[in-house]
Amino acid sequence: MPPKSQPKKNVKIKGHIAGAGIVRRQKVTDTLKTNYMPYAMSVIISRAIPEIDGFKPSHRKILYTMYKMGLLKGARTKSANIVGEVMKLNPHGDQAIYETMVRLSKGNEALLHPFVDSKGNFGKAYSRDMDCAASRYTEAKLAPLCETLFNEIDMDTVDFVSNYDNRTTEPTLLPVTFPAVLVNANMGIAVGMASSICPFNLGEVCETAIALIRDPAHKIEESLKAPDFPGGGLVIYRAEEISKIYGSGRGSVRVRCRWKYDKGGNCIDITEIPPSTTVEAIIEKVVELAKQGKIREILDIRDESDLSGLKLTVDLKRGADPDKLMQRLYRMTPMEDAFSCNFNILVNGSPRVMGVREIITEWLAFRNNCVRRRLNFQLSKKREKLHLLQGLKKILLDIDKAVRVIRETEEESEVVPNLMIGFGIDAIQAEYVAEIKLRHLNREYILRRTEEIAELEGGIAELEGILDSEKKIQSLIIKELRDVSRKYGQERKSLIIYPGETEEEDAPEEVPDYPVNIFLTREGYFKKITPLSLRMGGEQKLKESDGIIYRTETQNSAELLFFTNKCQVYKSRASEFDDTKASLLGDYVPAKLGMEDGETIIKLICTQDYGGNLLIFFENGKASKVPLMLYQTKTKRRKLLNAFSDKSPAVFIGHIQQDCEFMLTSSEGRILLISSAMLPEKLTRDNQGVQAMTLRTGRVLRKAEPFLESMLAKPHRFRVKVLPGSGSLPKEEDYGEQLSLS
């Protein structure tokens, strides 16, 4: 064997680095520990994982720089200016900074509540090929929501650290007044771990935080319904998966695109897609399936997105069934996709995977600390000012003496000590008195300033009382959460559908379509009678004390929605009921549809296209208006849970194709006329509605019905322009001659 080579000694050569090129033996574990681990920790702590305020360091540097540039209230400035300023805090390239700012912008549509108000082409999150314009062409400023991030930052609410070259400082966290970490989506890949946080509705998050403050055992699912994505779509609600995500912080949510069929153009218009895909990915997959012959119903697919928003158009061949096609596309393309959740968040510098309850609890602890630091800052400022004014108050005893002391002092450095001796005040008070302008050495000025002492003492006592009471701190946090929810909250963008509504229906057998007359009785008997049989038949056979509550003319293919007293809807089709005669009792619906014990039908709605709106009036005076399409499913018959709100009994349930007037009558006898156009359209079936009629204590809404001009002689007395309204008590002449009220 050749002799073992001896290590060469380091020799300094002029113009060369000593030791360069020499290979030394080192254990792999030592190399990982000294070289790789610092890099891994830097990526985890300082780059990829968001912190409890909801931001990564790159986000925080951009927003704080924009705040220091005065972009919270001022006009927009060129994005290139912002990028240049951010580089003072972020030692990375301008392109990386700009791409991060683009994702925070309103124009990119990546966030549910954008932090940057943008102007120009910022690209689109739902498009892979639609790039943003260069930073020299676009403009930006902070969105109004950023007031909740920076209105306390100058009150010592968070710690500041030096930037990378020690020339300035930046905040370690932002004192957010709402749980922003759950409101906007945040994803990042670190070394050995990752984070993926789905967005939730701001109003629901704030309500959940308030509920957890009041009751730590609050059930999260009651207030935080499901994720809410900026691109909308349909969230498939599976209770087990949602509970898993809320409990452990891990799981997945399935989201499918939202579409509508254009009968005139024989095409499908897709307007909302899952957040985890792009329009290009969908088009490529559909084209691939068409080339493979797996989908034959499609003529063409194209992207028609414009300034009005996303639009993907699928042209169909003649005779193609859009419902069946979409069910296949859901299975075979990214039109239905899963959003994987991994709630990995940095808390005190350590990454932790937490459920929603734990995240909000940690945020509340962080927010509690911010509020206490703010109050202590305000308390300190008031105490400092009070201390100065108390010294000024002593000058009031003898202003002439103060002037004489200053005038007779030979050296300037002796002015403050002489004032301290002459009036028994400390150095800070004496310095304050010495700096008062000559024009202010009058009794009026000093009296006016010393009048603030009582106000300051009261403010100090109030702040000390809040700091000494945990409940008052919590009340302050609750108030701020409600203010944020009221000012910046918005309706859900993602509709919630349930697993029963997502199942693909089996190929239906062909059923004949012909005109029918439908009848429903008070006790739940259903009759479907053809026009010919109805003309030949005699009197309707009913049980004693029973009566017909619903009658309509429709087609055998019509869909039927049976609303029950347990806030559920049972769906069926007219074709599933046998034709009968007037002389027969008909089918007993509760038994046929398998209703629960004690469940009764309160309303039947018949539809063929799910057009128009469902209108519900409740006893508490609230009214809910939702698109009937929210009740559309692809199954022959399905029981829908949470079909409408159970907070108050329903007084009226109706289906309207266009807006019209309704007459509301309270138990007090007051009458109110409103137009359904005044009611905002909601996107969740079980929403509680908006207050339509103001009711006095102990009063309820007794009756709601479509209004006809013949009902009242002077309807203008009962109309209102804004909601809610209390209505008016009718007079005898208001009823007219044609109306008889029972």
- Which CATH number characterizes residue 690's domain? 2.120.10.90
Residues 264, 246 contacting (CB under 8 angstroms):
no
**Which of 547, 580, 603 represents a domain boundary (last residue)?**
603
**Is the same domain home to 737 and 651?**
yes
Is the confidence at residue 18, as pLDDT, over 70?
A: no
Q: What pLDDT shows up at residue 459?
A: 92
As a whole number, mean pLDDT of residues 497-509 equals 58
pLDDT class of 423 with cuts at 50, 70, 90: confident
pLDDT at 737 over 60: no
> In this structure, is residue 19 part of a structural domain?
no
Are 629 and 591 in a shared domain?
no
> What's the structural domain count of the chain?
5
Residue 120 is part of which domain span?
55-175
Task: Look at strands 622-627 and 559-564 and give their pairing.
Answer: unpaired
Q: DSSP assignment of 552-571, as one string?
A: EEEETT-EEEEEETTS-EEE
Residue 94 near residue 82 (C-beta atoms within 8 A): no
Judge whether 125 and 231 are in contact, CB under 8 Å: yes
The answer to whether residue 361 sits within a structural domain is: no
Residue 403 lies in a domain: yes
Please give the average per-residue pLDDT across 421-444, as a whole number: 83
Tell me which of 16-25, 192-201, 229-238, 341-350 is least confident.
Answer: 16-25
What integer pLDDT is reported at residue 20 of this predicted model? 67
Return the pLDDT at 98. 95
Q: Which carries the bigger pLDDT value, residue 79 or residue 20?
A: 79
Q: Which of 36, 39, 137, 164 is catalytic?
A: 137
The lowest-confidence range among 61-65, 169-173, 709-713 is: 709-713
For the stretch 673-684, pLDDT in tens is 999 999 998 888
pLDDT for 435 equals: 83
Q: What average pLDDT does the segment 727-733 reach?
A: 84
Q: Is 197 contained in some domain?
A: no
Find the distance separating the first CA and the last CA of the chain, reported in whole Å: 117
pLDDT tens digits for range 255-265:
999 999 998 89
Tens-place pLDDT, residues 642-668: 899 999 999 999 999 998 999 999 999
Both 741 and 619 in a single domain?
yes
Q: Is residue 546 part of a domain?
A: yes
pLDDT (tens digit, 9 = 90+) per residue, 24-34?
787 888 877 77
Q: What is the pLDDT of residues 176-186, one digit of tens each?
A: 999 999 999 88
Tell me the pLDDT band of 506, cut-offs 50, 70 and 90.
very low
pLDDT in tens, 536-594: 877 888 888 888 999 999 998 899 999 999 999 999 888 888 888 888 888 999 988 88
In a shared domain, residues 593 and 620:
no
Q: Is the pLDDT of residue 294 over 90?
A: no
Question: Is residue 9 one of the residues assigned to a domain?
Answer: no
C-alpha angle 706-712-715 in degrees, rounded to nearest 5: 85
Cβ proximity of 125 and 109 under 8 Å: yes
Residue 510 pLDDT greater than 60, yes or no: no
733 or 506, which is more confident: 733
Examine the domain organization and report whether 613 and 587 are in the same domain.
Answer: no
- Of 7-16, 237-246, 649-658, 666-675, minimum mean pLDDT range: 7-16
When pLDDT is averaged across residues 452-477 and rounded to a whole number, the result is 93
* pLDDT confidence bin for 505, thresholds 50/70/90: very low
| 626 and 720 belong to one structural domain | yes
Q: Is residue 199 assigned to a domain? A: no
SS in 3 state form for 24-56? Answer: CCCCHHHHHHHHHHHHHHHHHHHHHCCECCCCC
Please list the alpha-helical segments (H only) found in 299-355: 322-332
Does pLDDT of 502 surpass 70? Answer: no
State the chain's mean pLDDT as an integer. Answer: 88
Nearest to 632 by CA among 188, 167, 97, 234: 234
Domain containing 145 — which CATH number?
3.90.199.10
Distance of CA 496 to the CA centre of its chain: 14
Are residue 73 and residue 167 in the same domain, yes or no? yes
- pLDDT tens, position by position, 364-388: 999 999 999 999 999 999 999 999 8
- Say which DSSP state 230 is in: T
Pairing of strands 495-497, 234-236: parallel
- Amino acid 15: pLDDT: 56
Work out the average pLDDT over 718-726. 89
Is the same domain home to 407 and 529?
no
pLDDT over 70 (residue 242)? yes
Catalytic (active site) residue 64: no
Mark whether 684 and 735 lie in a shared domain: yes
- pLDDT tens, residue by residue, 587-638: 999 988 888 888 999 999 999 888 899 999 999 999 999 999 888 876 555 7
Choose the final residue of a domain: 175, 190, 218.
175
pLDDT tier, 740 (very low <50, low <70, confident <90, very high otherwise): very low
Nearest to 671 by CA among 633, 699, 704, 645: 704
Same domain, 595 and 627: no
Kindly state whether residues 393 and 290 are assigned to the same domain.
Answer: no
Q: Which residues contact 678 (CB under 8 A, 6 or more apart)?
A: 722, 723
Residue 48 inside a domain? The answer is: no
Picking from 334, 365, 393, the residue at the C-terminal end of a domain is 334
Q: Model pTM?
A: 0.70
Q: Per-residue pLDDT tens for 101-142?
A: 999 999 999 999 999 999 999 999 999 888 999 999 999 999
Q: Is 439 exposed, middle or buried (0-12, 13-18, 19+ CB in 10 A)?
A: exposed
Residue 598 shares a structural domain with residue 699: no
Confidence of residue 14 (pLDDT cuts 50, 70, 90): low
Nearest to 68 by CA among 156, 176, 146: 146
Give residue 364's pLDDT. 96
Half-sphere exposure of 329 (CA within 13 A, CB side): 28
Could you report the per-residue pLDDT of 302-354, keeping only the tens digit for each?
A: 999 988 899 999 999 888 899 999 999 999 999 999 999 999 999 998 999 99
262: CATH: 3.30.1360.40
Q: What pLDDT is attached to residue 1?
A: 46
